[in-house]
Amino acid sequence: MAELYEATSSHTSDADQHAVRIIQDDAQAIAVAHELAGRLARDAAVRDRERRLPHDEIEWFSQSGLWAITVPKTYGGAGVSFVTLTEVIKIIAAADPSLGQLPQNHFGLVDVISLTGTEEQKRYFFSQILSGKRFGNGFSEKGTKHVLDLKTRVRQDGDDYVVDGTKFYSTGALFAHFVPVLGLDDDRKGWLAYIP
């Protein structure tokens, strides 16, 4: 398992300025997904035809609370089942396939924090997610043999860490508040650096 490391920044966004819904349970997640899907579907074909990036739409998606539905109940989230998560993504993807695809890595990274994060990391990142923050990703690299054949390096420099590398596959990074970047240290141990 990769270690978690959170980098800091003064990055702010529209999600910082608007109230984000806190979804309480599976049934509410499905209802909110249907509500949002109606709004997203209106101009989805136009956005796609014009190759327009969905800046406003991704904010609606975050503010709906749907990006936080897998945050565990003990940290203030809905802790929905994987069945509900799948249904929510199906509903959103039917309205706008591009938006249905964007949160795939986000939800995987929420799960990584649940499984491997320290208590401090869980409290910090789950509160960020509940306030509308999103994860992108910086995992794969061009010209490597497989996903874990990494050239990106993570090294400690005093109290800080330095991440050095180039990533190729980065779904959601353009709209993310944090871009978790996967790299190896000198002992080839994996690290995820959550970079604002």
The end-to-end CA distance of the chain, in Å, is 22
Q: Is the pLDDT of residue 43 over 80?
A: yes
Domains in the chain (CATH in brackets) are 19-118 (1.10.540.10)
pLDDT tens per residue across span 69-94 = 999 999 999 999 999 999 999 999 99
pLDDT tens per residue across span 180-190 = 999 999 999 99
The residue among 132 and 170 whose pLDDT is bigger is 132
Q: Is the pLDDT of residue 121 over 90?
A: yes
Write down the pLDDT at residue 55: 93
Predicted TM-score of the model (pTM) = 0.85
